[in-house]
Each structure stands twice: as structure tokens, then as C-alpha cells.
Chains A and B, each alone.
Chain A
Amino acid sequence: MSAIINTLASDFRLFIETQKAGFHAMAEAYKQMGTSLKEKKQSSNVVSFALQVPFFVLFSPLSAYLKAGEKIVIETYPLGRKNDAFQSRLFLYLLMVTALFIGLQPSPNPTAKLSFINEVVFLIALFAIMAMGLNLQTGLTGLVNFGVIFFVGFGALVTAMAMVKGGMDPWIALLLAVILTAIVGYLLAYPTLNLRSDYFAIVTVVLGEVLRQLLLAEPTFQTKVSGSQNTYIPELPGVFGPFRDSWRSVTGLPYSTFLMIFAVFVAFMVVVISQLIIRSPYGRVLKTIRENEVVTSAYGYDVFKYKAEVLAIGGAIFGLAGALLVWKRQTFVPELLLVTTTFFVWGAFIIGGKGNPRGMVIGAIIITYTQQVVRNISPTNRGSNFFIATLDSIFKFLVVDIGGAIFGEDSWRFVSEFQTGNVIIGLEAFQILIVGLVIILFMRRFEEGVLPELPYIPKKKPNLDKSSIWSNIEQTETSHGGTKE
């Protein structure tokens, strides 16, 4: 117990120190800003100067703050964020901060709050799972996969078909989705793995779109019956039906809370499996394939076999994500298979840091939270918040003044709907733009991701006596010579 308090205290001290150094550096940066802005004003034209101002006002002090903080950290933990001990602490603290943020999210009533938490945490877990599948394939093995949504969609399709058309238990459907997606991944290796990596990437991009178009054209594979009504996929019937009922009566919480907890559990398990793979000799071989596969094969490893296995393992993880998606949405329509999902998963992958499962979780948090915050700022749950009022006026300026001038009547009609409340619009329209901006901001400062890949350093260094090595060689030499003669 006292050990925990001690570590917490020392971490807190380190935190205070980094903040001190960070804010000091920030103040310095602000002091220097005046002179550097003057120089810039003289040397550049009006437009480029105007574009540079936010960088100087906002980003360069922020960058100075982060750099100074990192310098302090490196004094205590060598390699900074690439230090395993520091990284695991940082990860835990980031998780706590996330929990705090989600818990403090303002909402009109407890029910809305619970449903917000269910939605956000579920999506974070789902994106973390998908990002970890991508991490195994792209981050570790170097197979560039732009077809995340193909695998996820296939898993979702299998789950939906098994439950609705096959009448199977949802848990068996989930298992079937995992197995079949893994098999599809493995079989995909045969036609594609002889391609060079960029061509493999193109194939994967196409696959997702092919699946979506196929589903649009063929109603058999939709859970939508002809006409307008969707067939909703039942909530966990079968052997787990009684479990669901008792869950409701005992905890008094909705089904989506159970799903959220289950998704977090699955994400946790996938982190554990990913860590097991990355820290084993198996993961090491995968990394060498990423770095230079010709050399890997020259050292006795069947590169094709490893790549096919990784496509299968990653496929299984994607299949799991697809099944969860169907359980959550309770329907399966081709519109679920958006290319933007692949884009968001890649965003989480890049922000988090390739080759690092913990990083995938952080990346998923950042991407999902940005999306959700953006989506949640809508007229229905607006208050007289200064921030939101400002956003509203910016939006009105963009749509009414500028948009009206360019697009004329359409824009005006849109705005009148907006003002009567028929259209819920806020930042949501800018969702992709904002997520893109977040990715750019993170990449500027964290080139290798927030939690970069850890270098392998053996925990126990062997105790080597210098003389013993040489005598060892000498001894074997004489003993060999002895037996020969």
C-alpha cells in the first residue's frame, strides 16, 4: 500500500515538474513571439502571414510546452515515451483522464447521460479493437490494409445472416463470424501476397467497396425486408435470453450497458493477445517482415506463412468487431460499411503509434471522443453556453453569409429549416474535417504516435566476464582440435 502511495507521489512530483518546465517554456515562446511575428510580417505577404499567425499564437507555444515536459521526463525515464515503465503509467493516467472527461460530460438528465456513456465507451472499445487488428497487419507486419471495413463488414454480414436467416444464437453467430473472417483473411493471402505491398493496399481498398456494392445489389444479404421496414436483429435471445432478463432485473440497466461492458472486456482481451504476440519471438519475426522480408526468408522463416497467419489473426479480430457492431446496431444494412470507418480506424492507428496496442486504445479514444463531442453539440442539447453560441454564430456566418452568397436559395432554405429546428445541425457537418485536423495536429508533434512502439531491451542482461568469452572460444577450439587428432 505504501509502495503505491510512494509511486503516486513521485509521479505527481514528476507531473508538477513537467508542468512547471512546460509553462515556463510556453511563456518564453510567447515572449519571443512578438519579435518573430514582426520578422515574418516583413518577409512574407499578407495571406501567408495571416495563415502563419495561428501557428505562432497557438501551436508553437504548445509545442514548446510539450518539448520541455518531455525533456524533464527523459531525465527520470530514459527514452521518454519509449520507456516501458513510463509508457504504462502514461497510459493509465490517460485512461483516467478519459474517464473523467466522459463522466463530466454535461447532459440534461441521468438517462441521457447513461446512454451517452454507453455509446461513447462502446465506440471507443470498437475502434480500439479494429485499430488493434490493423496494428497487427499494418503496424507489425507491414501489410498495408486499407480494407478494414471489408473484414469488419464480412464479420457483420456473417453475424447478421446467422442470427436472422439461420436463427442461430448470437454467441454462436459471433464465433462463426470470427472463424469465417479469419478463414477469408487466410484465403486472401493466396491471390494477393505475391503482389508488392502497394498493390496489396489497392486490392484491400477495392474489396470493401465490392462488398458494399454487392450487398446493395443483392437483397438476400440484407436484413432489410422488401419495403421500408428493417428486420431488427433480436437482442441476445437463445441460451443467453434468461441472462439478459436477469441482467435487466438485477442491475436495472439497459441492454446497451451490458454491450458496453462486453465490448470493453473484448478490447481488453485483444490488448492482452496483441501484447503477447508483440513480445514473443513470433511478433519479432513479424517485425522483421515489415523491415525487410527478403532477409527474413534468408534466415529460415516462411514469410508467406507468417503473412497469411497475420491476415487470419487480424481478420478474426475484425470479425469480432463486426459482430459487436451488429449486436449494437441490431440491423445490418450496406450503409454500415462506410469507407470513412476505415479512415477513422487509420486515424486512430496513426495517432496512437504503430506497433503499440496501448497506443491503439489511446488513438481510438481521441478519434471517437472527437467524433462524439462534435456530434453531441446539436440544437437538441444546447444550453446558453458561450462556446456553443460562438460555434452557432460561426456556422451562421459560414452558411448564411458566405454559403448564401455562393449557393443562393438552397443555402437559405437549409438555414430556415435549421432555425425552425427541423434540421439538427451543428459541427456534425464538419466531423471529417475536424477529425482530419486533429490527426494533423497530433502528427505535427508526435511523429511516431502518442505511444510509440517500444524498442526491445532484454530485462535481464547476462553477466558476462570479458575473459570468459575469449577463454570459452579458446577452450572449444582446443577441445575440437583434441578430438580431431
Chain B
Amino acid sequence: MTDPLLKVEGLRKSFGGLQALKNVSFALNSKEVIGLIGPNGCGKSTTFNVISGIYPADSGSVKLKGEEILNKKPHEINRLGLSRTFQYTQLWRNLTVIENLLVPPKNQTGAQFVNILRRLKLAKEEEILVEKAYRTLELLEISHVAENYASELSGGQSKLVDIGRVLMSDPTILLLDEPVAGVAGPLAQKIFDQLQKLRKSLGLSIVIIEHNMEFILRKGIDRIYVMNLGEVIAEGTSDEIASMPHVIEAYLGG
């Protein structure tokens, strides 16, 4: 067996006296969907923030395709193919939805100041990206709001645009922080189905944080890691996790 795509080992992070992450380790194999669950304040989102370079870690190691990425800058990590969403949907509010989707694609010629005069090439690139953006919006069934400002959207629509935005960046690894919180049930199901499809068609590997345990156990996720108080306390398939007594204790507060 080859090395895992993303390998997190012994991650530690404290904010002043608060030890947010004590010892977090997990691995993500290629084309796998894993879940990261746990009660409030157990360090799930902090784990994402440390992996994606937004917070510096105290110690530990994060290896992406064998390369150490811990404490690299967020944009360097993103360029290696790791994209993430944020727990509180943070769209660029005073931009239109379609414009929100046009920023993430990598290696755009026009994103460098020296190239702003190359109008023809930029127009060609733009046309391709606009089509891709519309396709992504169609996929998420929100193409009717493409020309609205992001600030005009409802909470659920914002979540969908956020997912669309992360898909536009052509990631190999997706870190999704509560992707369906606040999205209506049938649509949430559909998003999960779409993610499963995309995983197969685009070869994505996905880490999902989900607060709702009941929900995630039914979604065909390969493996689940359970976190509590900054540590991974359990690992296994949905069925295994559902029957572990200490997991249930952590969730229900024993």
C-alpha cells in the first residue's frame, strides 16, 4: 500500500492557556471520504485551520503527498491542491455569485498585474471559466442567483455557493467544514450524493466535519474519526463507530 495522500500526526495547538489540540492524528487515502466528528469545541475546525495554514501549529506534522506542509502559508498550501471551506460561510459579500466562483481557479493569466493588457487571452480564459462556473451552479441548483450579490443570498444558498467555489479551485483534497449545516434535508442529501459522484469523476479525496452524528453515519462515508477535547478518541467505519460505547459517552456527556 502506498503512503496516504494526507497524513496528520501528533498535531498540537494551544491558544494561551487553552490546549485546543492535544494530539490529533489521522490519514486520508486517495479518493476516500472521511468524516471528522465530535462535540462542540473539540477542535475540529481548529484542526482544519492548522492544516490549511491559517493558524501556526505548536508541533506535529502534516504531510501532503509526502511533503511537509505544516506552517506553510495558506496560499502555498492551496496551490498544492488542498482547498477548504469555512464553518461560517465567508463569501466575498459585495461581489456577485458568479464573480465569487471566478476567483478560485488556479493559474489565471489575468491574476498577475503584468498581464492585464493581454485582453484577448484574458477574454478567452474568462469565457471558459464563466461556462465552468455556470455548470457548477447548475450542479448545485442555484444558477438562478448567479448575478445576485453574495450578500443577498440565504444561509443555505451561501453554503452551496461556498461549495461551488471550492469545487472551482480544482482541488485534489477537499476539507469541508460542516458543508450542509443549515441546508434543507433533501438538498443536503443531494449535496452528499453529488460529492460522492464528484469523488468518483474527479478523483477527489474529502474530509468532512459534521456536527450532526446521526446524519453523517448514514452517508456512505468510508471512515470516521471521532474527536473529543482536542484528541482523536476513535476511528472506524460508520457501523463500528455507532457501536462504540466511549464515543456515545463523549457525545452524550456520559
Contacts and interface: CB of A to CB of B under 8 A. Distances in A.
Contact of B92 (A282, A295, A462): A295
A455 B97 CA distance: 10
A484 B248 CA distance: 39
Interface string A264-295: 00000000000011001110110110111011
A460 B127 CA distance: 8
A460 B130 contact: yes
A300 B108 contact: no
A285 B111 contact: yes
A477 B96 contact: no
Given A462-B130, A462-B131, A464-B138, A285 B201 contact: no
Interface in A86-124: none
Contacts of A277: 113, 116
Interface stretch (B13-21, B99-107, B178-186, B205-213): B99-107
B219 interface: no
A421 B197 CA distance: 85
A456 B116 CA distance: 17
B197 A282 contact: no
A17 interface: no
B122 interface: yes
A379 B99 CA distance: 55
A449 to B, nearest CB: 13
Nearest to B128: A462
A281 B135 CA distance: 20
A303 B75 contact: yes
B238 interface: no
A99 B16 CA distance: 63
B83 A299 contact: yes
Given A281-B102, A462-B130, A457 B96 contact: yes
Nearest to A448: B94
A313 interface: yes
Contacts of B139: 469, 473
Given A298-B78, A299-B169, A458-B130, A284 B90 contact: no
Interface in B128-175: 130-131, 134-135, 138-139, 143, 147, 149, 165, 169
A338 to B, nearest CB: 32
B75 A294 contact: no
A196 interface: no
Nearest to B92: A291
Contacts of A457: 96, 98, 147
Contact of B134 (A309, A461, A476): A461
A300 B95 contact: no
Contacts of A458: 98, 126, 130
A290 to B, nearest CB: 8
A301 interface: yes
Contacts of B117: 276
A352 B109 CA distance: 31
B113 A309 contact: yes
A455 B98 CA distance: 10
A456 B96 contact: yes
B54 A282 contact: no
Interface in A426-485: 453, 455-458, 460-462, 464, 466, 469, 472-473, 476-477, 480-481
Interface residues of A, number: 41
B113 A284 contact: no
Nearest to B110: A281
Contacts of A416: none
B84 interface: yes
A457 B134 CA distance: 12
Given A298-B74, A460-B130, A284 B169 contact: no
Nearest to B102: A284
A292 B90 contact: yes
Nearest to A299: B104
Interface in B235-251: none
Given A280-B122, A298-B52, A299-B103, A480 B127 contact: no
A297 interface: yes
A294 B54 contact: yes
A300 B76 CA distance: 6
Nearest to B52: A298
Q: Considering residues A287, A301, A476, which has the most beta carbons from chain B within 10 angstroms of its beta carbon?
A: A301
Contacts of A280: 110, 115-116, 122
Nearest to B125: A281
B112 A282 contact: yes
A469 B113 contact: no
A144 B211 CA distance: 38
A235 interface: no
Contacts of B73: 297, 302
Contact of B138 (A288, A297, A460, A469): A469
Nearest to A294: B54
B93 interface: yes
A290 B134 CA distance: 25
B197 A477 contact: yes
B78 A464 contact: no
Nearest to A472: B135
Given A284-B102, A291-B92, A473-B139, A298 B111 contact: no
Closest 8 CB pairs of A and B: A281-B110, A300-B78, A291-B92, A462-B131, A456-B99, A297-B74, A280-B116, A476-B201
30 contacts: A280-B115, A281-B103, A281-B122, A282-B115, A284-B95, A287-B95, A291-B94, A291-B95, A292-B90, A292-B92, A296-B103, A297-B75, A298-B54, A298-B75, A299-B103, A299-B104, A301-B111, A302-B75, A309-B113, A453-B94, A455-B149, A456-B95, A462-B131, A462-B134, A464-B143, A469-B135, A473-B198, A477-B200, A480-B200, A481-B200
Given A298-B78, A473-B139, 13 more contacts: A277-B113, A281-B125, A282-B116, A285-B103, A294-B54, A295-B90, A298-B84, A300-B79, A309-B113, A458-B98, A462-B130, A469-B139, A477-B200
